[in-house]
Structure 1
Amino acid sequence: MPAAPPPPLQIADAQRSVAAELDRIAPVIDELGRRFTEAGHEIALVGGPVRDAMLGRHHNDLDLTTSARPEQTEKLLKGWADAIWDMGRAFGTIGCRHGDWQVEITTYRSEAYDPSSRKPDVDFGDSLEGDLRRRDFTVNAMAVTLPGREIVDPYGGVVDLAHRVLRTPGRPEDSFSDDPLRMMRAARFAAQLGFTVDPAVVDAMRDMASRIEIISAERVRDELVKLVCAPYPRLGLTLLVETGLADLVLPELPALALERDEHHRHKDVYEHTLTVLEQAIDLEATRLDGPDFVSRFAALMHDVGKPRTRRFVEDGTVTFHHHDVVGAKMTRKRMKALRFSNDDIDAVSHLVELHLRFHGYGSGEWTDSAVRRYVRDAGDQLARLHVLTRADCTTRNKRKADRLRRTYDELEARIAQLAEQEELDAIRPDLDGNQIMEILGIGPGREVGEAYRFLLELRMDNGPMTEADATAALRAWAERR
């Protein structure tokens, strides 16, 4: 299972960590500090890089803030940066690359959302402290001035970092009114850093959840992806559900909290789902190039069809027949609403639809033909399907869990054996389209496709055939028609 959130941070350790990180990035910050101050401007390292430096995390993407206007920043970067871009100029941001370093420099600013607008009104500010006050959380509202390397922390970010708590620099209601996406960011940072969220922030999220509706689906999607791919996604997802934000951005998840699982155990489907997600994360470490969003989101969505398919039987049991198919359709609809790519939508919904397939395997009754179809239907999602299927076993019955694991081990072994013998990952009929047309004496058309599908099913049932046997079978099929 994922590691527990880290223990409190010692301030002395944070100070040592930030000093070491500043030495590491000195080739960038020292020269930029000199260039800007000699031109009469202020400049400081700010936000995430300062926070992560105190946590002992290193990266080569640096955010800085300055009193210089964008055109002045661009001028000062020329001759130092290897490349410069200005896509964020409207927001005061100029980006550049210097060797292996990616740098974004933003003019001091203040921004606020109109109650009915999805886009912020941006005004340039005139002080570092004012710029820090507009930031989302105190742990992101710290700066290091350059070139002097003085830590500026007007809102207690160091203390909050030490206690691993998320607070806003000012009133959370004001912060979330300025930018409602910060409510999603609170959940994302909880998931990424393993932090708790200040009760006042949670209350504001609950009271203002409906404000998230003015934010574009793309921005919500991006925060959700970061949350799901974080080390502790349960923390963030639980916060979304408890504050009512999930009702608006991912309503299928809180809907599970009211459903009992099909075996009437103590856990509901919501808790089962979070456990499956955590077990999928544990498995992806060795089976996938994780963190893997598709695998994790499939785990999160695999049972969303249960509320709509729940039926009570006379003997007191409950069934969820076809919840895999219904859940796949619901998953596709939700991901489209969140503007996911077609590739991601297809992959996740396909996994949701297939997640129950293994349970027909029994204790190994599948024929080789059934194993081939399992591989064919999974397609390029087979490795992820292995992860999802194994993660979906959350029983506390050790004997049953061991039996399911051994059975799936056996299925994977059979897949590997057949793959080695038959190249399962590229299953094709034993005759191609040109051969079909030549043997049957026909031209391109629907009948060629029908013949191709017949030969593919034959290949699934019988395994590889010789060209002569495939030809005889094709002729017999044509005669029967």
Structure 2
Amino acid sequence: MKINLTQNKNLKLFKIIAEAAEKNGQSVYIVGGYVRDLLMKRTASTDIDFVTEQSGIELAQTVARDIDPKLKVSVFKTYGTAMIKYKDLELEFVGARKESYTENSRKPEVEGGTLEDDQKRRDFTINAMAISLNKANFGELVDPFNGVEDLEKGILRTPLEPAQTYSDDPLRMMRAVRFASTLNFVIEEKSLNAIKQEAERIKIVSMERIMVEFNKIMMSKKPSVGLGLMEETGLLKLIIPELIELKGVEEVEGQTHKDNFYHTLEVVDNISENTDNLWLRWSALLHDIGKAPTKKFVEGTGWTFHGHEFLGSKMVKTLFNRLKLPLGSDMKYVQKMVKLSSRPIALITDDASDSALRRLLFDAGEDLEDLFTLCKADITTKNSRKQDRFKKNFEYVAVKIKEVEEKDQVRNFQPPITGEEIMQMFNLKPGKEIGILKEKVKEAILEGEIPNDKEEAEKFVIAEAEKLGLKA
């Protein structure tokens, strides 16, 4: 089978590489994801991998000189690879190799090999195809494992025996789930069973590498596909057991609660239709994480999960720390979303007072719209009338919040009177009285006792200071 590269936007580059290889007496092939995406007519990747049966480093150096003598080549001698950044592309060159693995490491022993050896070590048949750039058969597809057929059928299959493939490099199990989720492919049965069998081997992979794949699953069109496969294969229990603890339905005195694991998957899918913000999707994934440890059956009331949002927000830090996710503003954002995840719903079901709306505005700040996106995604009822009612209520609260915001300017609230100004008014040095007075001003504004206005705040502070025995 020949691939027509004449319309390919990188044709000129491919010809330069072909000529450089011929000049060096080397073979050269495009391999991996670029070939797969080209055949699937997906947006072409900007990372292109090339294999030669000789020295990848030597070929890269020749290519760089032929494109532009000033072009830099990054050489990784340990792996026998070299990389060139050219325009918006990353071109990686590697010598074809054989690999063998030891029991306790995913770092292989490597030796030189043929193109076929290199294709055998690839993770899936759809990633093991190569396109020749050699003069004798330029554009010829080299597909020893019927990758084209698997592409057409939407199947993920390993070139060699699956259990050995996953045991050798357990990260491939996460990659299988990721491709199933992002490409909407099915993992072939033997492969799926091999992942279940080898799941424990994921423990030898660094959490950073696991999370790269996990976040790609989270960013897929329908993350529940990947998350469901991770649950089915046992990978999720090994990586985020807190999610598995949400599984199942208990019944006491004829009263049940929903399965919070499958509810969570629905919420993640719902939110993914409306946002590409990875951390908002994570907020959806963890919004009910505190429900398992707070679940309780109360006689006469039924199942309760009191304080699950507060506990869940505390659990976020523990999780992010263990999963090697960023511990700065991204983590704090997820904590905030989890902690506030039930607040708008409470305002919908009650006759919301302006003070309750002001407090939500104050606590959510610039993330209020994201919080509403999360809350809307949390509506998973299949009853269309209930869905419509919830949505109308959300719209009503959104209008009320907008009115309160325009009137009181509480979002990203800054007190109209500063601590320094309070110290000058009463000729005070820094002390606890300043903090007390500032807090009283904030509470008075949020409760609607005084407007968010400097003059009114000063009058209020003078009155409150007198109660503390202070005089202006």
Report the TM-score when normalising by structure 2.
0.90
Secondary structure of 1:443's match?
coil
Report deviation, 1:107: 2.3
Give, in whole Å, the separation in 2 of the partners of 1:338 and 1:220.
Answer: 9
Identify which of 87, 91, 97 aligns with 2:79.
91
Give, in whole Å, the separation in 2 of the partners of 1:469 and 1:420.
Answer: 18
Q: Does 1:38 align with 2:29?
A: no
> Comparing both chains, which one has the higher relative contact order based on Cα–Cα distances under 8 Å and sequence gaps of 6 or more?
1
Give, in whole Å, the separation in 2 of the partners of 1:396 and 1:266.
Answer: 16
Most deviating of 323-332 and 185-194: 323-332
Identify which of 172, 179, 197 aligns with 2:162.
172
Q: Does 1:473 align with 2:460?
A: yes
Report deviation, 1:366: 2.1
Give, in whole Å, the separation in 1 of the partners of 2:466 and 2:235.
Answer: 62
1:43/1:269 Cα in 2 relative to 1: closer, same or farther (>3 Å)?
A: same
Report deviation, 1:312: 1.5
Report deviation, 1:363: 4.3
Identify which of 161, 166, 186 aligns with 1:196.
186
Amino acid at match of 2:377: A
Amino acid at match of 2:40: L
Paired residues of 1:138 and 1:167 also in contact (CA < 8 A): yes
Report deviation, 1:76: 1.4
Identify which of 96, 99, 104 aligns with 1:116.
104
Please show how residues 131-280 of structure 1 align to structure 2 within 5 Å: 131-147=118-134, 148-259=138-249, 268-280=259-271
Identify which of 77, 83, 88 aligns with 1:100.
88
Paired residues of 2:348 and 2:397 also in contact (CA < 8 A): no
Secondary structure of 2:381's match?
coil
Report deviation, 1:364: 5.5
1:321/1:128 Cα in 2 relative to 1: closer, same or farther (>3 Å)?
A: same
Paired residues of 2:50 and 2:94 also in contact (CA < 8 A): yes
1:4 corresponds in structure 2 to: none
Amino acid at match of 2:263: H
Secondary structure of 1:256's match?
coil
Q: Does 1:451 align with 2:437?
A: yes
Report deviation, 1:75: 2.0
Paired residues of 2:47 and 2:89 also in contact (CA < 8 A): yes
Give, in whole Å, the separation in 2 of the partners of 1:229 and 1:264.
Answer: 36
Report deviation, 1:88: 4.5
Q: Please give the per-residue CA displacement for 1:153-197, whole angstroms capped at 9, x wherever unaligned.
A: 111110000000000000011111210011111111100000000
Query: How many residue pairs were aligned?
Result: 459
Q: Please give the per-residue CA displacement for 1:263-292, whole angstroms capped at 9, x wherever unaligned.
A: 9679522221111111111222xxxxx2x2
Identify which of 109, 121, 127 aligns with 2:114.
127
Report deviation, 1:33: 1.7
Report deviation, 1:51: 0.5
Q: Does 1:47 align with 2:37?
A: no
1:5 corresponds in structure 2 to: none
Paired residues of 1:125 and 1:131 also in contact (CA < 8 A): no
Give, in whole Å, the separation in 1 of the partners of 2:6 and 2:177.
Answer: 27
1:309/1:426 Cα in 2 relative to 1: closer, same or farther (>3 Å)?
A: closer
Structure with larger Rg: 2
1:143/1:261 Cα in 2 relative to 1: closer, same or farther (>3 Å)?
A: farther
Q: Please give the per-residue CA displacement for 1:226-248, whole angstroms capped at 9, x wherever unaligned.
A: 11111232111111111111110
Report the TM-score when normalising by structure 1.
0.89
1:7 corresponds in structure 2 to: none
Secondary structure of 1:477's match?
helix
Secondary structure of 1:382's match?
helix
Amino acid at match of 2:48: L
Amino acid at match of 1:274: L
Amino acid at match of 1:66: T
Give, in whole Å, the separation in 2 of the partners of 1:198 and 1:208.
Answer: 15
Amino acid at match of 1:121: P
Give, in whole Å, the separation in 1 of the partners of 2:454 and 2:257.
Answer: 57
Paired residues of 1:302 and 1:352 also in contact (CA < 8 A): yes
Identify which of 55, 62, 65 aligns with 1:69.
55
1:324 corresponds in structure 2 to: 309
Cα RMSD of the aligned pairs, angstroms, is 2.5
1:21/1:281 Cα in 2 relative to 1: closer, same or farther (>3 Å)?
A: farther
Q: Does 1:409 align with 2:395?
A: yes
Give, in whole Å, the separation in 1 of the partners of 2:310 and 2:22.
Answer: 62
Give, in whole Å, the separation in 1 of the partners of 2:263 and 2:201.
Answer: 30
Report deviation, 1:451: 2.8
Report deviation, 1:411: 1.7
Q: Please give the per-residue CA displacement for 1:192-236, whole angstroms capped at 9, x wherever unaligned.
A: 000000110111111111100011111111111011111232111
Give, in whole Å, the separation in 1 of the partners of 2:5 and 2:266.
Answer: 38
Q: Does 1:368 align with 2:354?
A: yes
Secondary structure of 1:29's match?
helix
1:466/1:294 Cα in 2 relative to 1: closer, same or farther (>3 Å)?
A: closer
Give, in whole Å, the separation in 2 of the partners of 1:77 and 1:458.
Answer: 70
Give, in whole Å, the separation in 1 of the partners of 2:397 and 2:307.
Answer: 23
Report deviation, 1:83: 4.5
Amino acid at match of 1:167: R
